[in-house]
Structure 1
Amino acid sequence: MTAFRYFTATTLDGFLADDDDNLDWLLSQPIDESGPMNHTDFIADVGALVMGATTYRWLLDHEVTAGRPWPYSVPTFLFTHRDDAAVSQTIRVVSGDPRDLRAQIVSAAGDRDVWVVGGGDLAAQFADAGMLDEILVSIAPVTLGSGRPLFTAAYDLTLTSVERNSAFVCARYDVVGPRRAGVGPGDVGSGALSPG
Protein backbone atom coordinates (compact mmCIF):
# COMPACT_ATOMS: atom_id res chain seq x y z
CA MET A 1 0.00 0.00 0.00
CA THR A 2 1.27 3.50 -0.84
CA ALA A 3 2.47 5.50 2.16
CA PHE A 4 2.78 9.29 2.30
CA ARG A 5 6.13 10.12 3.91
CA TYR A 6 7.54 13.53 4.84
CA PHE A 7 11.33 13.15 4.54
CA THR A 8 13.31 16.25 5.44
CA ALA A 9 16.03 17.84 7.55
CA THR A 10 15.56 20.44 10.26
CA THR A 11 17.51 22.56 12.67
CA LEU A 12 17.32 21.67 16.34
CA ASP A 13 14.83 24.49 16.85
CA GLY A 14 12.55 23.23 14.07
CA PHE A 15 13.30 25.21 10.92
CA LEU A 16 13.76 23.95 7.35
CA ALA A 17 15.43 27.12 6.10
CA ASP A 18 16.21 30.58 7.38
CA ASP A 19 14.06 33.64 6.68
CA ASP A 20 15.73 34.04 3.26
CA ASP A 21 15.20 30.35 2.33
CA ASN A 22 18.92 29.74 2.79
CA LEU A 23 20.09 26.17 3.48
CA ASP A 24 23.73 26.91 4.36
CA TRP A 25 23.07 25.49 7.83
CA LEU A 26 22.25 22.13 6.21
CA LEU A 27 24.86 22.01 3.47
CA SER A 28 27.69 22.66 5.93
CA GLN A 29 26.93 19.60 8.11
CA PRO A 30 28.87 16.32 7.76
CA ILE A 31 26.75 13.35 6.69
CA ASP A 32 27.43 9.76 5.64
CA GLU A 33 25.70 9.41 2.25
CA SER A 34 25.29 5.67 2.86
CA GLY A 35 24.45 5.96 6.55
CA PRO A 36 21.12 5.76 8.38
CA MET A 37 18.14 7.42 6.69
CA ASN A 38 20.16 8.33 3.61
CA HIS A 39 18.54 9.88 0.54
CA THR A 40 19.52 7.10 -1.88
CA ASP A 41 17.80 4.35 0.10
CA PHE A 42 14.75 6.52 0.73
CA ILE A 43 14.23 7.60 -2.89
CA ALA A 44 14.41 3.99 -4.10
CA ASP A 45 10.96 3.42 -2.56
CA VAL A 46 9.42 6.64 -3.93
CA GLY A 47 7.06 6.61 -6.91
CA ALA A 48 5.80 10.22 -6.80
CA LEU A 49 6.63 13.54 -5.16
CA VAL A 50 4.53 16.39 -3.85
CA MET A 51 6.01 19.81 -3.09
CA GLY A 52 5.05 23.41 -2.54
CA ALA A 53 6.02 26.50 -4.53
CA THR A 54 8.83 27.64 -2.22
CA THR A 55 10.55 24.25 -2.37
CA TYR A 56 10.10 24.17 -6.14
CA ARG A 57 11.58 27.63 -6.60
CA TRP A 58 14.55 26.74 -4.38
CA LEU A 59 15.23 23.74 -6.63
CA LEU A 60 14.97 25.91 -9.73
CA ASP A 61 17.33 28.52 -8.28
CA HIS A 62 19.91 26.06 -6.97
CA GLU A 63 19.67 23.09 -9.32
CA VAL A 64 18.07 23.86 -12.67
CA THR A 65 19.42 27.37 -13.24
CA ALA A 66 22.86 26.10 -12.27
CA GLY A 67 22.80 24.09 -15.49
CA ARG A 68 21.59 20.82 -14.04
CA PRO A 69 18.40 19.10 -15.20
CA TRP A 70 15.30 18.65 -13.04
CA PRO A 71 16.61 16.18 -10.45
CA TYR A 72 13.63 13.78 -10.29
CA SER A 73 12.38 11.32 -12.87
CA VAL A 74 9.23 10.27 -10.99
CA PRO A 75 5.97 12.25 -11.29
CA THR A 76 5.97 15.47 -9.25
CA PHE A 77 2.81 17.27 -8.11
CA LEU A 78 3.58 20.95 -7.58
CA PHE A 79 1.01 22.51 -5.25
CA THR A 80 0.94 26.24 -5.92
CA HIS A 81 -1.33 29.26 -6.24
CA ARG A 82 1.39 31.08 -8.16
CA ASP A 83 1.92 31.17 -11.89
CA ASP A 84 4.66 28.52 -11.83
CA ALA A 85 5.66 26.83 -15.07
CA ALA A 86 6.71 23.18 -15.16
CA VAL A 87 10.35 22.75 -16.18
CA SER A 88 9.95 19.02 -16.79
CA GLN A 89 7.30 16.81 -18.36
CA THR A 90 7.18 14.88 -15.08
CA ILE A 91 5.81 17.93 -13.20
CA ARG A 92 2.07 18.53 -12.81
CA VAL A 93 1.09 21.98 -11.54
CA VAL A 94 -1.93 21.64 -9.22
CA SER A 95 -3.75 23.52 -6.46
CA GLY A 96 -6.43 22.88 -3.89
CA ASP A 97 -7.12 20.27 -1.24
CA PRO A 98 -4.77 17.25 -1.36
CA ARG A 99 -7.80 14.98 -0.84
CA ASP A 100 -9.11 15.96 -4.26
CA LEU A 101 -5.88 14.73 -5.86
CA ARG A 102 -5.28 11.64 -3.75
CA ALA A 103 -6.33 9.12 -6.40
CA GLN A 104 -4.11 10.79 -9.04
CA ILE A 105 -1.11 10.93 -6.71
CA VAL A 106 -1.47 7.30 -5.58
CA SER A 107 -1.94 6.17 -9.18
CA ALA A 108 1.18 8.07 -10.25
CA ALA A 109 3.19 6.46 -7.43
CA GLY A 110 2.26 2.96 -8.61
CA ASP A 111 3.18 0.44 -5.93
CA ARG A 112 5.68 2.79 -4.28
CA ASP A 113 5.46 5.60 -1.73
CA VAL A 114 4.78 9.32 -2.04
CA TRP A 115 7.47 11.71 -0.82
CA VAL A 116 6.01 14.85 0.70
CA VAL A 117 9.09 16.96 -0.01
CA GLY A 118 7.86 20.08 1.75
CA GLY A 119 7.62 22.61 3.00
CA GLY A 120 6.18 22.39 6.47
CA ASP A 121 2.87 24.00 5.58
CA LEU A 122 2.24 21.56 2.72
CA ALA A 123 3.16 18.62 4.97
CA ALA A 124 0.62 19.90 7.52
CA GLN A 125 -2.04 20.20 4.79
CA PHE A 126 -1.41 16.56 3.84
CA ALA A 127 -1.69 15.56 7.52
CA ASP A 128 -4.97 17.48 7.83
CA ALA A 129 -6.22 15.60 4.77
CA GLY A 130 -5.36 12.25 6.40
CA MET A 131 -2.58 11.80 3.85
CA LEU A 132 0.57 11.74 5.98
CA ASP A 133 1.68 8.42 7.43
CA GLU A 134 5.24 9.04 8.52
CA ILE A 135 7.73 11.83 9.22
CA LEU A 136 11.41 11.06 8.73
CA VAL A 137 13.55 13.93 9.95
CA SER A 138 17.30 14.46 10.21
CA ILE A 139 17.99 16.97 12.97
CA ALA A 140 21.11 19.12 12.59
CA PRO A 141 23.13 20.51 15.52
CA VAL A 142 22.33 24.12 14.74
CA THR A 143 19.65 26.66 15.66
CA LEU A 144 18.38 29.55 13.55
CA GLY A 145 15.94 31.33 15.84
CA SER A 146 13.48 31.90 13.00
CA GLY A 147 12.74 30.74 9.47
CA ARG A 148 10.58 28.25 7.60
CA PRO A 149 8.98 25.90 10.15
CA LEU A 150 9.31 22.13 10.00
CA PHE A 151 5.55 21.73 10.49
CA THR A 152 2.72 24.24 10.87
CA ALA A 153 0.04 22.24 12.70
CA ALA A 154 -0.34 20.63 16.13
CA TYR A 155 -0.02 16.84 15.79
CA ASP A 156 0.80 13.88 17.99
CA LEU A 157 3.48 11.53 16.69
CA THR A 158 4.91 8.21 17.79
CA LEU A 159 8.69 7.78 17.66
CA THR A 160 9.44 4.50 15.89
CA SER A 161 13.23 4.69 15.56
CA VAL A 162 16.21 6.94 16.15
CA GLU A 163 19.76 6.67 14.78
CA ARG A 164 22.81 8.85 14.28
CA ASN A 165 24.25 9.81 10.91
CA SER A 166 27.42 11.86 11.49
CA ALA A 167 26.18 15.25 12.74
CA PHE A 168 22.48 14.36 12.46
CA VAL A 169 20.00 12.69 14.78
CA CYS A 170 17.73 10.72 12.42
CA ALA A 171 14.25 10.08 13.79
CA ARG A 172 11.23 8.33 12.32
CA TYR A 173 7.72 9.07 13.54
CA ASP A 174 4.30 7.66 12.74
CA VAL A 175 1.63 10.34 12.49
CA VAL A 176 -0.99 9.69 15.18
CA GLY A 177 -3.39 12.56 14.54
CA PRO A 178 -4.26 16.14 15.41
CA ARG A 179 -3.17 17.22 18.86
CA ARG A 180 -5.91 17.71 21.42
CA ALA A 181 -5.01 20.16 24.17
CA GLY A 182 -3.98 18.36 27.35
CA VAL A 183 -3.99 14.87 25.82
CA GLY A 184 -0.94 13.13 24.38
CA PRO A 185 -0.38 9.78 22.65
CA GLY A 186 0.32 8.09 26.01
CA ASP A 187 -2.38 10.12 27.75
CA VAL A 188 -1.65 12.17 30.85
CA GLY A 189 -1.47 10.82 34.37
CA SER A 190 0.85 7.91 33.56
CA GLY A 191 4.05 9.34 35.04
CA ALA A 192 4.20 12.26 32.64
CA LEU A 193 6.37 15.20 33.60
CA SER A 194 4.55 17.99 35.36
CA PRO A 195 5.63 21.60 35.75
CA GLY A 196 7.34 22.61 39.03
Structure 2
Amino acid sequence: MTRFVFNTAATLDGHLADPDHSLAWLFEVEGGTPDSAEHADPFTAFLASIGVTVLGSSTYEWLLRETNALDEPGAFTDAMSGKPAFLFTSRDLPVPADADLTVVSGPVSDHLDQIRARAGESDVWVMGGGDLVGQFDDAGALDEIQVSIAPVTLGGGPPLLPRRIGSDRLRLVDVSHRGQFAHLTYRVSR
Protein backbone atom coordinates (compact mmCIF):
# COMPACT_ATOMS: atom_id res chain seq x y z
CA MET A 1 0.00 0.00 0.00
CA THR A 2 1.35 3.42 -0.96
CA ARG A 3 2.45 5.60 1.94
CA PHE A 4 3.11 9.34 1.86
CA VAL A 5 6.40 10.08 3.65
CA PHE A 6 7.91 13.46 4.52
CA ASN A 7 11.67 12.95 4.76
CA THR A 8 13.78 16.05 5.40
CA ALA A 9 16.48 17.69 7.45
CA ALA A 10 15.77 20.54 9.83
CA THR A 11 17.71 22.75 12.18
CA LEU A 12 17.66 22.37 15.93
CA ASP A 13 15.33 25.38 16.08
CA GLY A 14 12.92 23.83 13.56
CA HIS A 15 13.70 25.46 10.19
CA LEU A 16 13.96 23.81 6.78
CA ALA A 17 15.93 26.63 5.18
CA ASP A 18 17.32 30.02 6.05
CA PRO A 19 15.31 33.24 5.47
CA ASP A 20 16.62 33.30 1.86
CA HIS A 21 15.36 29.72 1.29
CA SER A 22 18.93 28.42 1.15
CA LEU A 23 20.08 25.02 2.39
CA ALA A 24 23.73 26.03 2.53
CA TRP A 25 23.59 25.53 6.33
CA LEU A 26 22.85 21.82 5.79
CA PHE A 27 25.86 21.17 3.59
CA GLU A 28 28.13 22.93 6.09
CA VAL A 29 27.30 20.33 8.77
CA GLU A 30 29.69 17.39 8.88
CA GLY A 31 27.87 14.51 7.18
CA GLY A 32 25.18 16.83 5.83
CA THR A 33 24.90 15.24 2.40
CA PRO A 34 22.90 12.11 1.54
CA ASP A 35 26.02 10.39 0.25
CA SER A 36 28.01 10.90 3.45
CA ALA A 37 29.00 7.72 5.31
CA GLU A 38 26.37 8.24 8.02
CA HIS A 39 23.48 8.76 5.60
CA ALA A 40 24.38 6.76 2.47
CA ASP A 41 22.94 3.34 3.37
CA PRO A 42 19.74 4.57 5.08
CA PHE A 43 19.09 7.14 2.33
CA THR A 44 19.72 4.57 -0.41
CA ALA A 45 17.21 2.24 1.28
CA PHE A 46 14.71 5.11 1.56
CA LEU A 47 15.08 5.99 -2.15
CA ALA A 48 14.55 2.33 -3.09
CA SER A 49 11.13 2.48 -1.37
CA ILE A 50 10.04 5.58 -3.31
CA GLY A 51 8.11 5.55 -6.59
CA VAL A 52 7.30 9.25 -6.90
CA THR A 53 8.55 12.51 -5.43
CA VAL A 54 6.25 15.46 -4.75
CA LEU A 55 7.50 19.00 -4.23
CA GLY A 56 6.28 22.57 -3.99
CA SER A 57 7.44 25.56 -5.99
CA SER A 58 10.01 26.94 -3.50
CA THR A 59 11.72 23.55 -3.18
CA TYR A 60 11.56 23.12 -6.97
CA GLU A 61 13.06 26.55 -7.66
CA TRP A 62 15.87 25.87 -5.16
CA LEU A 63 16.58 22.54 -6.90
CA LEU A 64 16.68 24.20 -10.33
CA ARG A 65 19.19 26.78 -9.06
CA GLU A 66 21.39 24.34 -7.16
CA THR A 67 21.59 21.74 -9.93
CA ASN A 68 21.54 24.15 -12.89
CA ALA A 69 18.86 21.77 -14.23
CA LEU A 70 17.61 24.10 -16.94
CA ASP A 71 21.03 24.12 -18.61
CA GLU A 72 22.42 20.71 -17.60
CA PRO A 73 20.68 17.74 -19.27
CA GLY A 74 19.90 15.03 -16.75
CA ALA A 75 20.51 17.23 -13.69
CA PHE A 76 16.86 17.29 -12.61
CA THR A 77 16.47 13.55 -13.21
CA ASP A 78 19.59 12.94 -11.12
CA ALA A 79 18.26 15.21 -8.35
CA MET A 80 15.05 13.14 -8.32
CA SER A 81 17.11 9.91 -8.25
CA GLY A 82 15.51 8.90 -11.54
CA LYS A 83 12.02 8.97 -10.04
CA PRO A 84 9.06 10.78 -11.61
CA ALA A 85 7.97 13.92 -9.79
CA PHE A 86 4.88 16.03 -9.24
CA LEU A 87 5.22 19.78 -8.83
CA PHE A 88 2.46 21.63 -6.97
CA THR A 89 2.42 25.26 -8.04
CA SER A 90 0.06 28.05 -8.99
CA ARG A 91 2.78 29.74 -11.04
CA ASP A 92 4.13 29.18 -14.54
CA LEU A 93 7.62 27.77 -13.87
CA PRO A 94 10.21 26.51 -16.36
CA VAL A 95 10.60 22.75 -16.72
CA PRO A 96 13.81 21.03 -17.83
CA ALA A 97 13.30 19.43 -21.24
CA ASP A 98 14.18 15.91 -20.02
CA ALA A 99 12.30 16.04 -16.70
CA ASP A 100 9.70 13.41 -15.84
CA LEU A 101 7.63 16.09 -14.12
CA THR A 102 3.88 16.48 -13.83
CA VAL A 103 2.87 20.04 -12.96
CA VAL A 104 -0.37 20.33 -10.99
CA SER A 105 -2.24 23.02 -9.10
CA GLY A 106 -5.18 23.20 -6.76
CA PRO A 107 -6.02 21.08 -3.73
CA VAL A 108 -3.80 18.10 -2.95
CA SER A 109 -6.89 15.92 -2.64
CA ASP A 110 -7.63 16.49 -6.36
CA HIS A 111 -4.37 14.77 -7.33
CA LEU A 112 -3.98 11.93 -4.81
CA ASP A 113 -5.33 9.20 -7.11
CA GLN A 114 -2.98 10.26 -9.93
CA ILE A 115 0.02 10.34 -7.56
CA ARG A 116 -0.85 6.94 -6.06
CA ALA A 117 -1.27 5.45 -9.53
CA ARG A 118 2.13 6.75 -10.63
CA ALA A 119 3.79 5.45 -7.44
CA GLY A 120 2.39 1.96 -7.97
CA GLU A 121 3.24 -0.22 -4.98
CA SER A 122 5.97 2.16 -3.84
CA ASP A 123 5.84 5.08 -1.42
CA VAL A 124 5.59 8.78 -2.22
CA TRP A 125 8.30 11.13 -0.98
CA VAL A 126 6.67 14.41 -0.05
CA MET A 127 9.92 16.35 -0.33
CA GLY A 128 8.49 19.66 0.76
CA GLY A 129 8.31 22.35 1.63
CA GLY A 130 6.58 22.28 4.93
CA ASP A 131 3.42 24.02 3.77
CA LEU A 132 2.88 21.41 1.04
CA VAL A 133 3.44 18.65 3.59
CA GLY A 134 0.78 20.30 5.75
CA GLN A 135 -1.60 20.26 2.79
CA PHE A 136 -1.03 16.51 2.40
CA ASP A 137 -1.85 16.08 6.08
CA ASP A 138 -4.97 18.23 5.68
CA ALA A 139 -6.00 15.87 2.84
CA GLY A 140 -5.47 12.80 5.06
CA ALA A 141 -2.42 11.71 3.07
CA LEU A 142 0.55 11.99 5.40
CA ASP A 143 1.62 8.64 6.84
CA GLU A 144 5.13 9.23 8.15
CA ILE A 145 7.49 12.04 9.06
CA GLN A 146 11.24 11.40 8.98
CA VAL A 147 13.40 14.29 10.07
CA SER A 148 17.16 14.51 10.57
CA ILE A 149 17.84 17.20 13.17
CA ALA A 150 21.04 19.11 12.44
CA PRO A 151 23.23 20.76 15.09
CA VAL A 152 22.64 24.30 13.86
CA THR A 153 20.17 27.09 14.63
CA LEU A 154 19.12 29.73 12.12
CA GLY A 155 16.79 31.94 14.12
CA GLY A 156 14.41 32.22 11.15
CA GLY A 157 13.33 30.78 7.84
CA PRO A 158 10.59 28.42 6.67
CA PRO A 159 9.45 26.18 9.53
CA LEU A 160 9.66 22.40 9.46
CA LEU A 161 5.88 22.05 9.34
CA PRO A 162 3.62 25.09 9.64
CA ARG A 163 0.64 23.04 10.84
CA ARG A 164 -0.40 21.71 14.20
CA ILE A 165 -0.26 17.94 14.44
CA GLY A 166 -0.94 16.89 18.02
CA SER A 167 1.03 14.29 19.94
CA ASP A 168 -2.08 12.08 19.88
CA ARG A 169 -1.47 11.64 16.12
CA LEU A 170 2.31 11.14 16.17
CA ARG A 171 3.95 7.90 17.29
CA LEU A 172 7.76 7.76 17.51
CA VAL A 173 8.79 4.53 15.78
CA ASP A 174 12.54 4.97 15.31
CA VAL A 175 15.48 7.06 16.49
CA SER A 176 18.93 6.73 14.98
CA HIS A 177 22.24 8.49 15.35
CA ARG A 178 23.69 9.52 11.98
CA GLY A 179 26.91 11.37 12.58
CA GLN A 180 26.02 14.87 13.76
CA PHE A 181 22.30 14.24 13.12
CA ALA A 182 19.51 12.69 15.17
CA HIS A 183 17.13 10.95 12.74
CA LEU A 184 13.56 10.66 14.04
CA THR A 185 10.73 8.71 12.43
CA TYR A 186 7.12 9.31 13.42
CA ARG A 187 4.07 7.44 12.22
CA VAL A 188 1.17 9.84 11.59
CA SER A 189 -2.31 8.58 12.42
CA ARG A 190 -5.62 9.99 11.33
TM class by shorter chain equals 0.7 to 0.9
Which residue does the alignment assign to 1:170? 183
Match of 2:106 among 93, 96, 115: 96
Paired position in structure 2 for 1:4: 4
Aligned to 2:14: 14
Q: What letter corresponds to residue 171 of structure 2 in structure 1?
A: T
Structure 1 gaps, min length 5? 178-196
- Cα distance in 2 for residues equivalent to 1:125 and 1:30: 32
Letter in 2 for 1:169: A
Q: How does 1:100-119 map to 2 (within 5 A)?
A: 100-119=110-129
Question: Contact between 1:6 and 1:118, CA under 8 Å: does it hold in 2?
Answer: yes
| C-alpha distance in structure 2 between counterparts of 1:66 and 1:42, whole Å | 28
Q: Do residues 134 (structure 1) and 147 (structure 2) align?
A: no
Aligned to 2:75: 69
The one-character-per-residue Cα deviations of 1:84-123 (angstroms, maximum 9, x if unpaired) are 1321441011011111111100010011000000000000
In structure 1, distance between residues paired with 2:113 and 2:84: 14
TM-score normalised by length of structure 1: 0.85
Structure 2: runs of 5 or more not aligned: none
Corresponding residue for residue 185 of structure 1:
none
Distance 1:133 1:126 in 2: 9
Superposition deviation, residue 165 in structure 1 = 0.3
Report deviation, 1:49.
0.8
Q: TM-score, normalised by structure 2?
A: 0.88
Which of 23, 39, 42 lines up with 1:38 in the alignment? 42
Aligned residue among 48, 53, 59 for 1:49 = 53
Q: How far apart, in 1, do the equivalents of 2:100 and 2:28 lie?
A: 30
- Give 3-state SS (helix, strand or coil) of 2:189's partner: strand
Between the two proteins, what is the percent identity of the paired residues? Answer: 45
Point out the structure with the larger strand share.
1
2:114 alignment partner, SS class: helix
Q: What is the deviation of 1:65? A: 5.2
Q: Which moved more, 1:38-47 or 1:145-154?
A: 38-47
For the 8 Å contact 1:155–1:176, the answer to whether it is kept is no
When residues 28 and 19 of structure 1 are mapped into structure 2, their CA distance, relative to the original with a 3 A threshold, is same
Report the Cα distance in structure 1 between the residues aligned to 2:136 and 2:104, rounded to whole angstroms: 14
Deviation at 1:24, TM superposition (A): 1.8
SS of 1:138's partner is strand
Specify the structure having the higher radius of gyration (Cα). 1
Whether the 8 Å contact between 1:47 and 1:110 is mirrored in structure 2 is yes
Report the Cα distance in structure 2 between the residues aligned to 1:41 and 1:47, rounded to whole angstroms. Answer: 12
Identify if the C-alpha distance between structure 1 residues 57 and 3 changes in structure 2 by more than 3 Å, giving closer, same or farther: same
| RMSD (Å), alpha carbons | 1.6
Separation of aligned partners in 2, 1:76 and 1:114 = 9
